[in-house]
Structure 1
Amino acid sequence: MAQIETEQPRWRQVYAVISGRIRSGEIEVGERVPSLVDLTAEFGIANATAQKVVRQLRADGLIRTEPGIGSKVADREYWESETA
């Protein structure tokens, strides 16, 4: 389980880790991002918290969700600023 310890809300901490993986290229454009089940297992968070992370990643343009397929990293042209 990934360890993250700051005074930010858990969803923000997980968001920072996943968005960092996307922005660094660790998770490449077009590649699937961790599922809700994967996020809850890796970070020890509730499903609702994982959903909030995914919603924010989508709102910032970092991922695109396709029904029946899942969420994948969006093309860089859709990404919001680096300070999201």
Structure 2
Amino acid sequence: MIDFDPDRTVWAQVYDLLRERIENGTYKERLPIPSIVHLEQELGVARQTVRKVVAKLASQGYVNAIAGKGTFVRPREDWNAGAE
């Protein structure tokens, strides 16, 4: 579980944390990130929050979800490909 900043939304804090883990190499390129259930339990947040964050990361090119296999970190050159 992480300590949350009461002045920021939980969603934004989880997004920043997972993006940081991808960018700093904690989650390695081409390898899977932890499952939604694992992240929900680790961070102490709702599953839907984690799903929304992962969907946003996917839309920005950070990760790619493959049905039945997991969510994988995309190569660095793909990051922000879909950024708004």
User: Normalising TM by the smaller chain, what interval?
Assistant: 0.7 to 0.9
Q: Sequence identity of aligned pairs in percent? A: 33
1:55 aligned residue: 55
> Which 4+ stretches in 1 moved above 2 angstroms?
none
User: For the Cα contact (< 8 Å) 1:30–1:72, is it kept in 2?
Assistant: yes
Aligned equivalent of 1:45: 45
Tell me what 2:80 maps to: 80
TM-score where L is the length of structure 1: 0.87
Structure 2 Cα separation of the partners of residues 62 and 23 of structure 1: 9
**CA distances 1:5-58 after superposition (whole Å, capped 9, x unpaired):** 252211110110111010011111011112110111111111111111111110
Report the Cα offset of residue 2 of structure 1. 2.1
Q: Which amino acid aligns with 1:65?
A: A
Unaligned runs of 5+ in 2: none
Separation in structure 1 between the aligned mates of residue 36 and residue 21 of structure 2, nearest angstrom: 16
The alpha-carbon distance between structure 1 residues 25 and 43, as it changes in their structure 2 partners (threshold 3 A), is same
In the alignment, which residue of structure 2 is the partner of 1:69?
69
Deviation of the 1:4 alpha carbon: 2.8
The equivalences for 1:9-48 within 5 A come to 9-48=9-48
State whether residues 6 and 13 of structure 1, in contact with CA within 8 Å, keep that contact through their aligned partners in structure 2.
no
CA apart distance, 1:3: 2.0
Q: Is the 8 A contact 1:29 1:74 kept in 2?
A: yes
